[in-house]
């Protein structure tokens, strides 16, 4: 009996690692591009996918602006990146995406101190309850609206240094998302309720906003040398759920441990969209596993909804 149990355990563990090496294994960015003389901004760069992305860009020689809320954590990440890559051009700049004032301040500081911008990586994201400084739902405010304003404020600098790119980390969760404009207009929120599932639903809605934003942005960038892409990074072990409730963590922790992959794997599609040559004609598209997903759901290509979301976002940010 003991031998049978041992053999079963060996088969189970072997099968698990086989799955990780095949089914769960994500493709890697194959670009050999060097970025000396180029400048990149990465939001949420002090941890997870953002940190791995910043590390790779620094290793390629880029000047990397770590756009983060927490100075202490960002500076610790910078120290590690500089030590690992030998690139001392890794800079912290304060950015709190939950404050439109902070986004404006960041953009002003960047435009005054930096002469160029080649890559804007809208990476930061969260799942939590509460409101932003401006009264928006936290998930909507950080995951979409803060990045929307940041991108718009930096577009002229991106255009001036073309060819340049905007890469926004979305998620396959967009498939479960919708945009309720009535709720957004009246409540400045993507959903109601503060339970873990309601917050997850709101996250899905925000990821659909990311995809629609990129789709509309590409239209508005036609005729320029700026291209943009949204993407699904994969099922990744990150700190995005650190504010989740006890029961959600209890359910999700073993699933994440067993079936999700590391941040290095999760950064590969971001890097592909940022660096791969010859994808300029795919501006506005959604990528997964380092390739465009051409049969994306129709709600992510709804011209009227994308336009309305853009115009409402402009209004929320005081741009119109």
> Can you say how many angstroms the Cα of residue 113 is from the centroid of all Cα atoms in its chain?
25
Please say if the pLDDT value at position 246 is more than 80.
no
User: Alpha-carbon distance 152 to 155, whole Å?
Assistant: 5
Secondary structure element (H or E) that encloses residue 41, with its range? strand 39-43
pLDDT tens figures, 79-133: 999 999 999 999 999 999 999 999 999 999 999 999 999 999 999 999 999 999 9
Q: Which tens digit of pLDDT belongs to each residue from 145-175? A: 999 999 999 999 999 999 999 999 999 999 9
**Number of independent structural domains in the chain:** 1
The 10 Å Cβ neighbour count of residue 57 is 31
Between CA 217 and CA 74 the distance in angstroms is 29
What integer best gives the mean pLDDT of the chain? Answer: 89
Report yes or no on 263 lying in a domain.
Answer: yes
What CATH number should be reported for the domain holding residue 213? 3.40.50.720
Please give the order of strands across the beta sheet that includes 286-288.
Answer: 90-94, 63-68, 39-43, 119-122, 164-169, 226-232, 286-288, 291-292
pLDDT, residue 1, reads 56
Strand segments, DSSP code E, in 156-314 are 164-169, 226-232, 286-288, 291-292
Note if 203 is an active site residue.
yes
CA-to-CA distance for 172 and 183, rounded, in angstroms? 23
pTM: 0.86
* Cβ atoms of residues 58 and 90 within 8 Å: yes
User: What digits encode the pLDDT tens for the residues 200-217?
Assistant: 999 999 999 999 999 999
pLDDT band at residue 320, thresholds of 50, 70 and 90? confident
Domain that holds residue 236: 32-316
Find the DSSP H helices in 47-120.
Answer: 48-59, 71-85, 100-113
137: which strand partners? Answer: 131
Pairing of strands 119-122, 164-169: parallel
Q: What is the pLDDT of residue 266?
A: 86
Report the C-alpha gap between 46 and 253 in whole angstroms: 22
Q: Mind listing the pLDDT tens digit for each residue in 123-145?
A: 999 999 999 999 999 999 999 99
Please state, in angstroms and rounded to a whole number, the distance separating the CA atoms of residues 201 and 47. Answer: 24
- pLDDT tens figures, 255-298: 444 445 566 788 999 999 999 999 999 999 999 999 999 899 99
Q: Report if residue 6 sits inside a domain.
A: no
pLDDT at 7 > cutoff 80: no
CA distance linking residue 59 with residue 89, whole number of Å = 10
Q: Are 119 and 40 in contact (CB under 8 A)?
A: yes
Does any domain span residue 10? no
pLDDT surpasses 60 at 242: no
Q: What is the pLDDT of residues 51-75, one digit of tens each?
A: 999 999 999 999 999 999 999 999 9
Average pLDDT over residues 182-196: 95
Candidate list 16, 197, 203, 215, residue with the active-site label: 203
């Amino acid at each position: 009996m003991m031998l049978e149990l041992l053999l079963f355990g060996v088969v189970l563990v072997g099968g698990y690692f086989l799955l990780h090496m095949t089914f769960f294994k994500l493709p890697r960015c194959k670009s050999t591009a060097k970025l000396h003389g180029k400048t990149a901004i990465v939001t949420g760069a002090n941890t997870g996918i953002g940190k791995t992305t910043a590390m790779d860009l620094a290793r390629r020689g880029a000047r990397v602006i770590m756009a983060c809320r927490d100075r202490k954590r960002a500076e610790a990440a910078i120290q590690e990146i500089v030590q690992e890559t030998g690139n001392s051009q890794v800079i912290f700049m304060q950015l709190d995406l939950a404050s439109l004032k902070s986004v404006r301040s960041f953009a002003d500081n960047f435009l005054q101190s930096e002469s160029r911008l080649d890559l804007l990586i809208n990476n930061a994201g969260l799942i939590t309850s509460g409101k932003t400084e401006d009264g928006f739902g936290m998930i909507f405010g950080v995951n979409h609206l803060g990045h929307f304003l940041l991108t718009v404020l930096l577009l002229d600098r991106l255009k001036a240094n073309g060819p340049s790119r905007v890469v926004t980390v979305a998620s396959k969760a967009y498939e479960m998302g919708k945009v309720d404009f009535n709720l957004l207009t009246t409540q400045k929120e993507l959903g109601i309720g503060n339970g873990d599932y309601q917050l997850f639903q709101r996250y899905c809605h925000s990821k659909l906003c990311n995809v629609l934003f990129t789709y509309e942005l590409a239209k508005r960038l036609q005729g320029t040398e700026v291209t943009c892409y949204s993407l699904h990074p994969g099922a990744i072990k990150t700190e995005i759920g650190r504010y989740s409730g006890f029961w959600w963590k209890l359910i999700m922790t073993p699933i994440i441990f067993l079936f999700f992959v590391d941040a290095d794997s999760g950064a590969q599609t971001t890097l592909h969209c940022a660096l791969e040559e010859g994808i300029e004609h795919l501006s506005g598209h959604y990528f997964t596993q380092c390739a465009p997903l051409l049969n994306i759901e129709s709600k992510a290509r709804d011209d009227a909804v994308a336009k309305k979301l853009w115009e409402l976002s402009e209004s929320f940010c005081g741009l119109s």
